[in-house]
A and B are shown apart, each in its own frame.
Chain A
Amino acid sequence: MAITEQQLEEILAKYPSKLQKNRKKHIVINDSSCGAQTIEANTRTAPGIITNRGCAYAGCKGVVLGPLKDMVHITHGPIGCAFYTWGARRNKAKSDDPTQNFINYCVSTNMQESDIVFGGEKKLAKVIDEVVENFHPTAITVSATCPVGLIGDDINAVAKAAQERHGIPVLAFSCEGYKGVSQSAGHHIANNGLMDKVIGVGDLEKASGKYPINMLGEYNIGGDSWEIERVLEDIGYEIISVMTGDGSYEKLKNAHVAELNLVQCHRSINYIAEMLEIKYGTPWLKVNFIGVNGTIDSLRNMAQYFGDPELVQRTEDVIARELARIEPLMEQYKKICEGKTAFCFVGGSRGHHYQGLFAELGIDTVLAGYEFAHRDDYEGRQVIPDIKTDADSKNIPELHVEQDPNRFKLKLSPEKMAELKTHIPLSYYAGMHVDMNEGTIMVDDLNHYETEEFIKLLKPDIFASGIKDKYVVQKMGIPAKQIHSYDYSGPYAGFNGAVNFARDVSMGFASPTWNFIVPPWKEEPLLTGSVNEEGVA
């Protein structure tokens, strides 16, 4: 079922007029007769809208830095911000060296009123000293929360002095929550810091194995990265580093030796991918390990990039083996899922990635969107030159990198690059729009009110989203699937992940619990139903 412009107007009519105009630009009904459609994204959320967006600190410390296991991540600020990022994301980590895995720790300077008045630099310095003494970590990060920037604490100076004092890297990130418009600003800040202070610090000049790669924008939620690594290693890739799921300073510092960078979550990490290409000449490949087809395409594209017939063959062998194993399982779940519809509203890449997996199960995604993505994540990277930088994005410093005089090396001839680019997404991402069907709808920064209204209108069978909107959806009688933290399940990536996802989604439909729950519209008399249907067509 599709939605009409008029129905959309009716939903927005509830807003004050200024807000109506604002929200209208963030919503697009996919219609190929309109040519290239534009969506507004990465702009400020209107105050008072129940958005699902977080802050720059969440993107920096919570998402990108948090999973780096051999670093102690200090939150410089009052206690709340630190507490709320403690173990909230289910990024898993295991460590060969148990003394260097701090993933379960939450460390804060716990600023008090007096620190706000007199400044928190001294306390921060002392906390760093105590952390070194208690944990002996490989490295330390310091992330600033809102008040820190306002009172003018110079966390860079404190970090620098501590680094000299202790002889271990101490990295400062000015990711105060008021910067930018969402988590996205924090990703950028974290990317800059890691590029500037970590990647390339190691003295490795050459990878030991064949086909060395980095996996960027994979955070190992519910073990996703482990499932992907299983397959990649089986095929013969050497994984230099994962950014940042189950990642570490120790690995990240040698990331420059990779010959290809895979980008899973484009939104959160494309900055590093670009900078690595400029600095070391390493191209990046947009991959998508969510869904069986996504995984297969990604593996084949990787093999093509390296162009080694042996690798191509090994890739096909592994694909065939995995498919033979999982296809019967997927079939059985497909029977349950076939013909259903979904909403898919998540983060900055999953809103797109999971559509493919839904489609494999016979589920149509009728509404999709991102919480904090930019226009290129919807429309494709070709729009980047057209994106206006507003005051909010100008606040985030750009890091300008240059070719590394010693380590820059073209991995492929320019001709070969050009040739490959015609059929694989090398240093390119096409966004979600091209993959969505006619009449479906894209919504940027969906809020609680719109969630409810769109559900009433489109009556999806399942809603893939996060914890904050999950209960609105379930109270409306529709199963919700958490795609941020997977409802304590996972992995969902790769071949085994697809099966797990299929199982969990099927369970959402097949659980006898739903026999007791009848959403109101399912009981509506047929007549109103059909009138609606006509109005919609």
Chain B
Amino acid sequence: MNEKTDYRDVNENPCHMCMPMGGILPIKGIEGGMVVIHGSQGCSTYMRRYISEHFSEPIDVGSSSLNEKGTVYGGEKNLKQALDNIRKVYNPKLIGVLTTCLAETIGEDINRIADDYLKERNLNNDLVIIPVSTPGYGGTQAEGYFRTVREIVAGLAQPSPKHNKLNIIVPNISPADIREIKRILALMGVEYTLCPDFSDTLDRPYLEHYSKMAPGGTKLEDIRGMPGAVATIELGETVGDEYSPGRFLADNYGVPLYTLPIPIGVKNCDAFFNTIKKLTGKPLAESIKAERGRLLDAMVDSHKYNFAGRSTIFGEPELVYAVSQLCIENGVYPAVVATGGAGAKLTNLLRAVVAECPEPVAILTESDFCEILEQSRLHQVNIAIGHSEGRYLTEHGNIPLVRIGFPIHDRVGGQRLLAVGYTGTTLLLDRITNTLLENKYRTYRTDMYDLYYKENSGPPAAAEDEVIGDDGLYSL
């Protein structure tokens, strides 16, 4: 297994974003939630632009609009003013205050400012403020996401009587994925609190009347009651304890924590359903059994095409981990697996699973697309799977890209990409297989020509059907 070999300082075409970007998403998944980014307004404008483009949704995010004076005298006044103005126009139930590099560098104490604000305005019963420290230089959007979920849960959770619900903590998956998990839970008759739930707020249907605050999101009451749940299932194997909302609930309220990967791939889905069954005693619904069967059927149908795939998988650690497992299950063996952040937990998890791969796998952390491309070429990768910035691999390395994750900028429908559960897995697998096939058809004639006619050498010509069966051998 080769690890990072070169130690460059330059980041050339980054594979990750900054912490507050990740913090916005979960706040958008809380009912009546609004966000203020404490810093100069550029950060919030950029992030809104990016999130908007991915989800094709309006993304209202306030900024405390700090300027040079604020950097000298502190931004307390600006932040309070921002809270005032947002309250007046949006009337939110909860405001998440996320810091930026600027606020952190000048040492803003947002917890104190938030407390003072609630007292001064006499709002303690009407508004929840969740301050989250998210310095851009402190981590990637993935860490910003989980730290924010943890702070939301920690800020709201109250000692609660025991109830029947499960807590489900989801990572940065698509609104369609969240809806799928909800559908599955409903099918099985499981009661739950899913947090954060941006399945409606970041993928709104067209409605006759537009409202400033998107309907939907996890209810504050439900989050308050999370300590009374049967258990927490956290789809966050790569999440450090200090960022983990489930860990918080376990440590402070004794809620048993089950940490699982995102249910993508047979094994991961099985683990998800088995855990639910164990915790609730509810059997797998017949229709879900059928979905599982269809996935297996699809895997058999596609295995020979998939076996010709050598993949590069990149993006946020949690997704990278699950997609790597899916690829291994189907013989699209990962050759390069990369993430932009430190990814310590990811590396350990991956080491265990890539042991099954026939060839060494390059695991790249703190990586950028310059390095990912270099390694992909070296490993003769023929398919990449990850967010849209990976188009660089297509443009410069001729490696086709299957888009999944965040952000997806150059295509529509990022919010509708479904990958979880047996059905979601089937859809993702089909996209991977079809991308391999498409590439095959595109290059088949030239490959054959080069092989048999150009040099007037090579193995004797075989009937076309036969060649398609194992052409992966020739194409690499």
List the interface of chain A (C-beta within 8 A of B): 14-16, 19, 44-58, 74, 77-86, 88, 104-113, 115-116, 123, 126-127, 130-131, 134, 145-147, 149-151, 177-181, 391-392, 395, 448-449, 452, 466-472, 475-477, 517-518, 520
Contacts and interface: CB of A to CB of B under 8 A. Distances in A.
Interface residues on B, range: 35 or more
Nearest to A451: B58
B81 A179 contact: no
Nearest to A517: B206
B41 A86 contact: no
A178 B210 contact: no
A183 to B, nearest CB: 8
B392 interface: yes
Contact of A105 (B13, B20, B85, B105): B13
B182 interface: no
A469 B10 CA distance: 34
Contacts, number: 232
Given A48-B62, A123-B9, A392 B85 contact: no
B88 A467 contact: no
28 contacts: A47-B64, A47-B85, A48-B65, A48-B83, A49-B62, A49-B65, A50-B61, A53-B41, A79-B137, A79-B140, A80-B136, A86-B13, A86-B389, A88-B49, A106-B12, A109-B9, A116-B135, A146-B39, A147-B102, A151-B105, A178-B67, A178-B70, A178-B102, A448-B58, A449-B89, A467-B49, A468-B52, A472-B58
Nearest to A182: B41
Given A49-B62, A469-B58, A392 B45 contact: no
Given A109-B9, A110-B11, A468-B58, 15 more contacts: A53-B41, A54-B42, A55-B42, A55-B43, A79-B16, A80-B43, A84-B47, A112-B137, A113-B135, A147-B105, A150-B105, A178-B67, A392-B68, A475-B58, A517-B206
B235 interface: no
A57 B42 contact: yes
B209 interface: yes
Contacts of B58: 448, 468-469, 471-472, 475
B138 A80 contact: no
A131 B47 CA distance: 27
B204 interface: yes
B14 A178 contact: no
B173 interface: no
Given A58-B42, A88-B49, A178-B70, A46 B9 contact: no
B165 interface: no
B40 A146 contact: yes
A147 B105 CA distance: 7
B28 to A, nearest CB: 13
Q: Lowest 9 CB-CB distances: which A-B pairs, in order?
A: A55-B42, A80-B18, A48-B82, A48-B85, A47-B82, A84-B46, A110-B11, A78-B137, A177-B42
B284 to A, nearest CB: 39
Contacts of A392: 67-68
Interface in B39-98: 39-43, 45-50, 52-53, 56-71, 78-79, 81-86, 88-89
Which of A15, A78, A470 has the largest count of B CB atoms less than 10 A from its CB?
Answer: A78
B65 A44 contact: yes
A463 B58 CA distance: 15
Contact of A472 (B62, B102, B210, B395): B210
Contacts of B59: 468, 471
B212 interface: yes
Contacts of B61: 50
A147 B46 CA distance: 16
Nearest to A472: B58
Which of A14, A145, A475 has the largest count of B CB atoms less than 10 A from its CB?
Answer: A475
A441 to B, nearest CB: 20
A58 B40 contact: no
Contacts of B68: 178-179, 391-392, 395
A448 B67 CA distance: 21
B85 A16 contact: yes
A55 B40 contact: yes
A127 B42 contact: no
B208 interface: yes
A471 B19 CA distance: 25
A108 B12 CA distance: 7
B189 to A, nearest CB: 34
A111 B21 CA distance: 16
B100 interface: yes
A287 B219 CA distance: 55
B395 A104 contact: yes
Given A86-B14, A112-B137, A104 B60 contact: no
A147 B207 CA distance: 42
Nearest to A181: B67
Given A48-B86, A178-B102, A392-B67, A79 B17 contact: yes
B298 interface: no
A44 B36 CA distance: 17
B49 to A, nearest CB: 5
B278 interface: no
B349 interface: no
B127 to A, nearest CB: 14
A92 B57 CA distance: 26
Nearest to B13: A106
Interface string B123-136: 00000000000011
A357 to B, nearest CB: 25
Contacts of A80: 17-21, 43, 46-47, 101, 136
Contacts of A178: 40, 66-68, 70-71, 102
Which of A53, A55, A107 has the largest count of B CB atoms less than 10 A from its CB?
Answer: A55
A146 B105 contact: yes
Contacts of B296: none
A47 B45 contact: no
Contacts of A106: 12-14
Contact of B392 (A51, A104, A123, A395): A104
A17 to B, nearest CB: 10
Contacts of B105: 116, 146-147, 150-151
A147 B66 CA distance: 13
B106 interface: yes
Contacts of B89: 14-15, 449
A517 B209 CA distance: 11
A520 B209 contact: yes
A81 B46 contact: yes
A467 B104 CA distance: 29
Which of A74, A146, A391 has the largest count of B CB atoms less than 10 A from its CB?
Answer: A146
A475 B202 CA distance: 13
A41 to B, nearest CB: 16
Contacts of A88: 49
Contacts of A471: 52, 56-59
B445 interface: no
Contacts of A52: 45
B17 A15 contact: no
B65 A448 contact: no
A43 B377 CA distance: 51
Contacts of B112: none
A407 to B, nearest CB: 36
Contacts of B36: 48
Which of A107, A149, A178, A517 has the largest count of B CB atoms less than 10 A from its CB?
Answer: A178
Contacts of A181: 67
Contacts of A518: 208
Contacts of A180: 67
Contacts of B53: 467
A11 to B, nearest CB: 11
B71 to A, nearest CB: 5
A22 B48 CA distance: 24
B8 interface: yes
A279 to B, nearest CB: 29
A126 B7 CA distance: 11
